[in-house]
Structure 1
Amino acid sequence: MSAVERAYAPVAAPRRPALRSVPLRASRAPRAPFVVLVLLVLGIGLIGLLVLNTALQQGAFELGELQSTTDELRDRQTELADRVAARSAPDALAEQATRMGMVPAEEAPTFLELPGSSSGDDGGAG
Structure 2
Amino acid sequence: MSAAERAYTPVAAPRRPSLRSVPARGSRAPRAPFVVLVLLVLGVGLIGLLILNTALQQGAFELGELQSTTDELRDRQTDLADRVAARSAPDALADQAARMGMVPAEDAPTFLELPRSAPADAGGAG
What interval of TM-score do these two structures reach, taking the shorter chain for normalisation? 0.7 to 0.9
TM-score (norm 1): 0.72
Q: Does 1:40 align with 2:77?
A: no
| CA distance in 2 between partners of 1:30 and 1:102 (Å) | 102
| CA distance in 2 between partners of 1:105 and 1:26 (Å) | 115
What does residue 97 of structure 1 align with?
Answer: 97
Larger radius of gyration: 2
Matches within 5 A, 1:24-63: 24-63=24-63
| CA distance in 2 between partners of 1:25 and 1:41 (Å) | 30
Task: Determine helix, strand or coil for the equivalent of 2:105.
Answer: coil
The one-letter code matched in structure 1 to 2:63 is L
| CA distance in 2 between partners of 1:36 and 1:110 (Å) | 99
| CA distance in 2 between partners of 1:48 and 1:81 (Å) | 49
Task: Determine helix, strand or coil for the equivalent of 1:94.
Answer: helix
The one-letter code matched in structure 1 to 2:109 is P
What does residue 10 of structure 1 align with?
Answer: none
In the TM superposition, residue 109 of structure 1 has moved relative to its aligned partner by 1.3
How many residue pairs match? The answer is 98
What does residue 67 of structure 1 align with?
Answer: 67
Percentage identity across paired residues of the two chains: 87
In the TM superposition, residue 47 of structure 1 has moved relative to its aligned partner by 0.2
Structure 1: stretches of 5+ with no match in the other structure: 1-19, 118-126
**Per-residue CA distance 1:73-94 (angstroms, 9 max, x = gap):** 0000000000001000000000
| CA distance in 1 between partners of 2:104 and 2:95 (Å) | 12
What does residue 15 of structure 2 align with?
Answer: none
The one-letter code matched in structure 2 to 1:40 is L
Give the superposed CA RMSD.
Answer: 2.0
